A = this chain, B = another copy of it.
Amino acid sequence: MNFVFKFLIVVLLLQKVYQQTNQILLGNMSSTATFLKTLSSRRTVYSLKPALPAGVTINNIQEVVETVVKQTPTAFNSQPNRAIILTGETHKKVWDAVVKNTPAGDAQKRPASERDTAYGTIIFFSDESITKKLQSDFAFYHDIFPVWAAEASGAAQISTWTALETLGLGANLQHYNAAIEAVLPEKIPKNWKIHSQLCFGSVDQAPAEKTFVENKVEIFN
């Protein structure tokens, strides 16, 4: 019996040594692999249920969006990204207005489905007063500042979408910009330019396989 215990302990210790060596050798590679796997798991999910997964609250989502908006790099650290979260009655009211603003027929199906099956919507904006100030301060870059604001918004959008995936949520990205802008809550500043709407909820049905183009990244030495 004593021998069995000693043997077990040696096995457990060797296992620990193996794990720690692995950690040292593969440390970087393994966090890169995890990050790329997380990115690759993010998908466009249209088949949603208007609920949050067990253990996830709207405040978890708020924390995700605030962290992403805060940490996303921007031109001259100007930080133009802004975001709000709609849920409950406000979410329903806004998407219902989009439905009514859309020609009757098939075109109404998507906004109606966001209204009825998504739990909430994250809306991404850029504060245009910041972009205009940069344009006036640095005339040389006048035409490129709005492009940089769009790229910084795209960065915040993908990081938020990927973070929602890690929370077990499904999401899809919409661009009903004009229709949504017309019915936003009163207190949203008029100088916030709308980029997109990330509609989220629990996953009802997983999406089908995605197709990719051949896209080699060449190295020039």
Residues of A within 8 A of B (CB): 1-2, 5-6, 8-9, 12, 25, 28-29, 31-32, 34-36, 38-40, 42, 44, 53, 55-56, 58, 60, 62, 64-73, 77, 79, 81-90, 144, 147-148, 150-155, 157-159, 161-163, 166-168, 173, 175, 185, 195-196, 210-213, 215-221
Contact = CB atoms under 8 A, between A and B. Distances in A.
A168 B27 CA distance: 10
Contacts of A5: 2, 5-6, 9
A220 B185 contact: yes
Contacts of A219: 58, 62, 84-87
27 contacts: A1-B2, A28-B166, A28-B167, A32-B163, A32-B166, A36-B64, A36-B67, A36-B71, A40-B71, A44-B73, A65-B217, A66-B217, A70-B215, A73-B158, A73-B173, A79-B213, A82-B215, A84-B220, A85-B217, A85-B220, A87-B219, A88-B221, A151-B151, A152-B154, A153-B154, A154-B154, A159-B162
- Dominant SS at the A interface? helix
A158 B162 CA distance: 12
A88 B153 CA distance: 33
**Number of chain copies forming the complex:** 2
Top 8 nearest A-B pairs by Cβ distance? A151-B154, A154-B154, A155-B158, A5-B5, A88-B221, A150-B150, A90-B220, A32-B166
A94 to B, nearest CB: 9
Contact of A28 (B6, B82, B148, B168): B168
A60 B217 CA distance: 12
